[in-house]
Amino acid sequence: KAQHEGLQDQLRSVEDLAMQLDAVCAKNELYELQVEKLRQLVDHPRMVQPQLEELATFMKTIPQISCTDTPVLVPVTALRFTHHTINSDFAFGDDHNNRQESILKLFMNFFSGRLEPEVLEDPLYVFKHRGPDGHTGLYWRNNRRLIALLMFQSVRRDRLVRVQCRILADDDHRPCPV
């Protein structure tokens, strides 16, 4: 009888260990599911906008970029605005070669493939400047064209849209085309 009770105690211990093992296995499965969800969250921006990693790499190089009159390809999403507003008619102003043409027309030319931002005839003039946030950025005073380029980038999430830029120092006083 004592031997039988000893076996029952051992059986209960084995059953308890089996239940504990099942609980540990269930926790591990739950942890693995949570880790997989975290991986998906980390990869999510790359799935939606795969060019973000390339943009981040470029942004880190801006403080070291040399000012140059030689055109350099710059991601349009790296360019900052110099004004807080644009023409209320959403058109180019009278001081522009495309006076009173719609910014949407320029966007549609990019979108339809009639124009490629990377090969615009005239490089853009951008200024390397430490902004109010304390970071060095590339500022472009032609906000209307930048709006059209950013609109184009928003529908081309699979690639980084770039544009030829001449990078000037913020104290460069040469006149720049608009």
The pLDDT confidence band at residue 74, using thresholds 50, 70 and 90, is very high
Q: Which amino acid is at 58?
A: F
The pLDDT confidence band at residue 152, using thresholds 50, 70 and 90, is very high
**φ and ψ at 29, to 5 degrees?**
-65, -40
pLDDT in tens, 86-104: 655 555 555 555 554 678 8
- Asked whether the beta carbons of 97 and 103 are under 8 A apart, the reply is no
- Looking at residue 94, its pLDDT comes to 52
Q: What is the pTM of this model?
A: 0.66
Q: Which amino acid is at 28?
A: N
Residue 131's closest CA among 72, 64, 62, 177? 62
Residue 12 pLDDT exceeds 80: yes
* 36 φ/ψ sector (left φ>0, alpha ψ -120 to 50, else beta): alpha
pLDDT in tens, 113-130: 999 999 887 888 899 999
- Asked whether the beta carbons of 163 and 73 are under 8 A apart, the reply is yes
Could you give the CA distance from residue 93 to residue 159 in angstroms, rounded to a whole number? 30
Could you give the CA distance from residue 13 to residue 25 in angstroms, rounded to a whole number? 18
